[in-house]
Homo-oligomer: A and B are copies of this chain.
Amino acid sequence: MPQRMPHRMPQTRWFASQTASTGVNSWSSRTHTCGELRSSHTGEKVTLCGWVQYKRHGLFIILRDFGGLTQILIPQQESMHRVKECLSDVPVESVIKVVGTVQQRPPGQENKDMVTGQIEVSAESVEILNTCKKLPFEIKDFVKKSESLRMQYRYLDLRSSQMQRNLRLRSELVMKMREYLCNLHGFVDVETPTLFKRTPGGAKEFLVPSRDPGRFYSLPQSPQQFKQLLMVAGVDRYFQIARCYRDEGSKPDRQPEFTQVDIEMSFVDQCGIMALVEGLLQHSWPKENGIVEVPFKRMTYEEAMRDYGVDKPDTRFDMKLMDVSEVFYSTNVGFLQSALSESRGTIQTICVPNGGTLFTRKDMDLLKQKAAQFNQEVTTFQIKADGSIKSPLKKLLSVSTVEELIKKTKAKAGDLLLIAAGSVQTVRPLLGSLRLQCADLLESHAVALRDPSVFHFLWVLDFPLFLPKDECPEELEAAHHPFTAPHPEDTDYMYTEPCRVRGQHYDLVLNGSEIGGGSIRIHRAAEQLHVLKNILKEDPSLLTHLLEALNSGAPPHGGIALGLDRLVAIIVGASSIRDVIAFPKSFRGHDLMSQAPDCVSEEELDSYHISVKWPKEKKTVLPAEETL
């Protein structure tokens, strides 16, 4: 590219003078993007810059930039032989600048699938800005690449129209969120530190060695403490598109660094935060994805578990859990009776419409395998097209029991009942999981169950505030975090039966994925101390600064954090959040492009007063990263 230095060479006019003063072409050497030209531009002299997408018979070049594709006509006259040669010889994916005139394509040669398909640009001069020397794969949307190859050459992968769209949509969505929060509602964008102190129980926090021997910063999982301190500081309304860190090792679809839309405000209640978030999503939702209806549906945690067996129900389809215990009170089938005699024992079912006719033996095996993962069994009960029954229970149940079961579940010919028996705590999650698996299976049999263009938002409310610890059920842990305020109806139980207390916590669920969660916080020091010390048995000295802050005039406050990566992934229909992050890590946390993390010298470690403790036995070679 010819570089120009007007302050030295005032005779050279700089690019912007020939282009727009605003818009995507300002200050650029192009006059238009490759997606901009239409019939109305016919006769205009234009300059395009972009990548050679492909060449056709020495007659055309298709030029690409982020805006789209434009057909460039290669001149065939002898007088233009240099331009012809240049355009014919240039390798695919090279970067060129073409000056030419827009012309209507000859009748019959228009391309209706291309937004610029009415025109072509007759090249008059060309400049090769950079020659493409080497490509590991073709930059075409239809060429399938392994994900590890895509990650290794991410800068090429991002050239695909889908990835371009994902990154741009994400940027626009965030911009609209900022307008809503900052311009319409007076929120203040405050950046909080990421080099912080280890939080109590923050086992998933990355460490950062400091130059003070034995002292480490920690990369926090969220700005939770800071957002609360900002409320104590009187900032009133805070938001931040916050980078957060979580070291979870190898979890699919989790990233060691991720982004949340972090919001906190003072003098607000739970409904205020919910209305704020509903307005936020309505305002920022991409137009092409339809209109977001508010208010969102609301459901208690108890209702969600009862009807869907999960705290983040996919409400785009029915197949709710049904309690059929009473159908079986009188049977003497052993495993059913023993389930009913358990504490909180139950027999429940889901009815899969047409599952009886559509599902193959293999499908049924998959369902049984899923149950086995839960250390449970599921009993199938198929109703054939002719109304006959196929089920292990068939021989054991009386005709009237079978009739009652069908009546109670409203099962029709061709349906499939999946029956699980046991305690409520085990049966619900099992059937909740089978329900989702059945949805996948039905869709694999071409049943249109979940419309990908439909978005079901749902608030889940009234979570328990404390849960028994897995490893030690007589001890309690915070269901979400120790700063959540109790439900006002349950405050008395805080001192008598903490496990009965519901929290003022709200989860936002979209199409069965949790995309956000928040709460009204405890704003009084005595209550916070009671939770930390008496209920959770944690050392409150780690949070001295927060407790002191609550004693220095803390306003009532609450907030929410939305998972931006997941939200964008759902909007664009991506199967993984890696498709909406510019440079994601592999599922083992590696950057396959640069090979991070990497070794560093002893000398560098010395300045941080640390040394590597090599494992005693060399591990066998780790599996390749193919399966991201």
Q: Is there contact, CB below 8 Å, between A207 and B210?
A: no
- Flag A178-216 by CB within 8 Å of B: 1 or 0 each: 100011111011111111111000010011111111111
CB distance from A525 to the nearest CB of B (A): 7
The CA of A613 and the CA of B585, in the complex, are separated in Å by 30
Residues of chain B contacted by A170 (CB below 8 angstroms)? 189
Q: Which of A114-122, A368-376, A603-611 forms part of the interface with chain B?
A: A603-611
- Taking the closest CB of chain B, its distance from the CB of A587, in whole angstroms, is 13
With both chains docked as a complex, state the minimum distance between the C-beta of A435 and any C-beta of chain B, in angstroms.
Answer: 24
List chain B residues, Cβ under 8 A from A272: 14-16, 27-28
Inside 8 A of A49's CB, which chain B residues have their CB? 266-267, 555
Shortest Cβ distance from A94 into chain B, in angstroms?
6
Say yes or no: A595-B197 contact (C-beta < 8 A), given A191-B259, A235-B167, A582-B230: yes
Whether A24 contacts B236 by the Cβ 8 Å rule is yes
Stretch at the interface among A127-135, A347-355, A405-413: A127-135
Cα A150 to Cα B219 with chains together (Å): 24
Report how far A261 CA is from B170 CA in the complex, Å: 19
* Partner among B51, B216, B235, B585 whose Cβ is within 8 Å of the Cβ of A193: B585
Closest to A26 in B: B185
In the complex, what's the smallest C-beta–C-beta distance from A534 to chain B, in angstroms? 19
> Please, what's the 1-or-0 string for A14-29, where 1 marks a CB less than 8 Å from any CB in chain B?
1110000011101111
Tell me which residues across on chain B come within 8 A of A65, comparing CB atoms. Answer: 234, 236
**What's the minimum C-beta distance from A549 to chain B, rounded to whole angstroms?**
5
Among A27, A218, A266, A524, the most chain B Cβ lie within 10 Å of the Cβ of A27
Task: Determine whether A614 belongs to the interface, using a CB cutoff of 8 Å to chain B.
Answer: yes
Among candidates B167, B276, B615, residue contacting A26 with C-beta atoms closer than 8 Å: B276
Flag whether A500 is at the interface (Cβ < 8 A): no
Asked whether, in the complex, the Cβ of A549 is within 8 Å of the Cβ of B615, the reply is: no
In the complex, what's the smallest C-beta–C-beta distance from A440 to chain B, in angstroms? 31
A66 touches B27 (CB 8 A): no
B residues less than 8 Å from A191 (CB atoms): 243, 259, 581-582
One of B134, B175, B606 near A178 (C-beta < 8 A) = B175
Interface positions of A from 155 to 170, Cβ below 8 Å from B? 155-159, 164, 167-168, 170
Cα distance, A195 to B129, chains bound together (Å)? 33
**A94-B553 in contact (CB<8A):** yes
Q: Are B591 and A193 in contact (CB under 8 A)?
A: yes
Knowing A16-B272, A614-B213, say if A24 contacts B237 (CB, 8 Å).
Answer: yes
Bound together, the chains give a CA A186 to CA B27 distance in angstroms of 12
CB-contact partner of A216 in B195, B197, B265, B598, under 8 A:
B598
* Contacting residue for A209 out of B28, B209, B268, CB 8 A: B209
Does A429 have its Cβ within 8 Å of any Cβ on chain B?
A: no
Known contacts A49-B555, A554-B130, A612-B213, A271 near B5 by CB under 8 Å: yes
Q: Which residue of B lies closest to A596 (CB)?
A: B197
Contact A611 B613 (CB under 8 A): yes
Find A610's partner among B129, B203, B610 (CB 8 Å cutoff).
Answer: B610
- Within the complex, what minimum Cβ distance (angstroms) separates A300 from chain B? 8
Q: A219-B208, A276-B27, A298-B7 are in contact. Are A174 and B186 (CB under 8 A)?
A: no
The 27 listed contacts between A and B (C-beta, < 8 Å) are A1-B269, A4-B488, A6-B271, A7-B271, A8-B462, A16-B271, A29-B269, A51-B234, A130-B553, A130-B556, A132-B551, A155-B230, A155-B549, A158-B234, A174-B189, A175-B182, A193-B585, A196-B591, A210-B597, A216-B599, A218-B598, A229-B583, A230-B582, A233-B582, A545-B594, A606-B613, A610-B612
